[in-house]
Amino acid sequence: VTTISISTRKDGDRLVILVEDDGAGIADDEKERIFERGYGKNTGLGLFLAREILAITGISISETGVPGKGARFEITVPEGRWR
């Protein structure tokens, strides 16, 4: 990974925060598994806890990148949760 970019866009009344890199990306069969507790190289808690904490506030996170072209995380903030 040599570049990480963070941007935002509106999707209707929702705010979408995009975090992207130019690395190898995430394989399609791992896009949900990376959010499982214990999955990964270290403790396996990072993305698991991020998703759990965001969910408490009604915010969602998903990986939507293209394998081979970098990871892309979309954090969706619903209407009324941002201004």
Q: Is residue 77 part of a domain?
A: no
Does a structural domain hold residue 83?
Answer: no
How high is the mean pLDDT of the chain? 96
What share of the chain has pLDDT > 70, as a percent? 100
Range(s) of the domain holding residue 67: 4-72
pTM, full prediction: 0.92
Please name the residues in contact with 7: beta carbons below 8 A apart, sequence gap of 6 or more: 17, 18, 20
Position 2 scores a pLDDT of 96
* CATH number of the domain enclosing 36: 3.30.565.10
Work out the pLDDT band at 59, boundaries 50, 70, 90.
Answer: very high
Number of domains into which the chain is organized: 1
pLDDT for the residue numbered 30: 96
Is the predicted pLDDT of residue 40 greater than 90, yes or no?
no
Residue 78 is assigned to a structural domain of this protein: no
Between the two ends of the chain, the Cα-to-Cα distance in Å is 32
CA angle centred on 30, ends 70 and 40, rounded to 5°: 90
Query: Is residue 79 in some structural domain?
Result: no
